[in-house]
Amino acid sequence: MTDKYTQLVNQGLGRNVAKKLGLPQPAILRRYQPGQPLISGPVLVQGTTPGADTLAAALLAWDLDVRRHAVPRERLGAIILVLDDVAHPGELERPILSVASSLRDLAPSGRFLTVSRPVTDDVTPAEAAARQGVDGFLRSLAMELRAGATGNGILLGDAVETTSPSTLAAVRFLLSGRSAYVDGQFLTVTSPDGQLPADFDRPLAGKVAVVTGAARGIGAAIARTLHRDGATLVLVDIPAAGDHLAGVANELHGTALQLDISRDDAGQRIIDHAVQRHGRLNIVIHNAGITRDKLLANMDHTRWSSVINVNIAAQLRINEALLASDHFASSPRIVSVASTSGIAGNRGQTNYAASKAGVMGMVRAAAPLLAERGGTINAVAPGFIETDMTARVPLVLREAGRRLNSLRQGGQPADVAEAIAFLASDAAGGINGGVLRVCGQYMVGA
């Protein structure tokens, strides 16, 4: 679906009218294209810790133009503020204000990143205050950035360094056009695991990936992105979507499996198909989902149970089959599609919000089970994404959904797909049990 307003205000007359009337002026976002530079312009790395020094050296090894001190009026592609040893809220002022003037030099679709550590039970109250302070600072700054620039953070677990593989992978993802619609969010690197790919343009080469709900919309976009990144595909959808499913599978040289995922044997059928056709199974993307919206006062058994069964109960059953199988044991990856509705709620969606919140709870609890076999499970929570479903939303509500975020526009299915492809890669092996919002910093929920 096309956002005609965003197109209009990025043209001469429309831009001038919007500016004079004080209307929102969403930017055309820089999205990933194979072969494009990681970032346009120098990267300013600020921080006085050894972690800042080693991160700057790693970025130099990527042939990036790295600055350790700001040069006045130099257009910057990105700013990275390393706060990995902050121990008191009084220590925040100097490093944060040191980058304040450089914000004016951040290029359109530029990137601002913080690298810090999460609050844990074993830190002092002062350390906890400082670390949580970074959270509030970053989320607020992301709301101040303009022209398609985004602000995001990376949180490092106790055993994780600024140059651990998944730290560098997270930095690369958040600097790139792959994260165009990720804003005001934190990625937590829980362990030093992970392996950077030999080819950053094909990080899924040699992997076999299953995508459910793959016939249309976000599911088809996920399939295309995984294929672009080198994966061999098994695409799953209900028999009623068989023609569309076959078309996507043929386009991407994958195989199609017509299957109702709510069947008790769905997990085993997926495993059998992948192994028989491709010899292995490495990645499962739980994308299939339905809505049956009604106010709770008008909710009935069929609407409630169908949403819960498809959106979360089916995932639980499939995951049980995957974890019981020896065919899903080589650095396995599971990524589930949740929703901001499961974080902030949404009127008329008590059943849907319960199911999507359930997905996030499942991911957190299942993370240790995947870690036992060297794998990970994570979720991606989209906000307002331009799909056929959102095209049917009444105009006023649709425009509100588009503009009620820091980027002042809806996301594209490809934005969700890029986040999923990153979390499905070996490079993200140190990120486990997390939920990444792809919502342009939707102004509800955390």
Q: Could you list the active site residues?
A: 352
Residue 355 host element (H or E): helix 350-371
Q: What are 13's strand-pairing partners?
A: none
Q: Measured between alpha carbons, how far is residue 316 from residues 183, 220, 261, 358 in Å?
A: 29, 22, 11, 10
Measure the N-to-C terminal CA separation of the chain; round to a whole number of Å: 27
Alpha carbons 247 and 291: distance in angstroms, whole number: 24
Alpha carbons 338 and 356: distance in angstroms, whole number: 5
The strands making up 283-286's β-sheet, listed across from edge to edge, are: 255-258, 232-237, 208-212, 283-286, 333-337, 376-382, 435-438
Alpha carbons 386 and 217: distance in angstroms, whole number: 9
Alpha carbons 32 and 417: distance in angstroms, whole number: 11
b/e code 316-327 from CB counts within 10 Å (16+ = b): ebbbebbbebeb
In this structure, the strands spanning 283-286 and 208-212 are parallel
Q: What share of the chain is helix, strand, coil (3-state, %, to 5)?
A: 45, 15, 40
Pair 286, 211: CB distance under 8 Å: no
Alpha carbons 78 and 141: distance in angstroms, whole number: 14
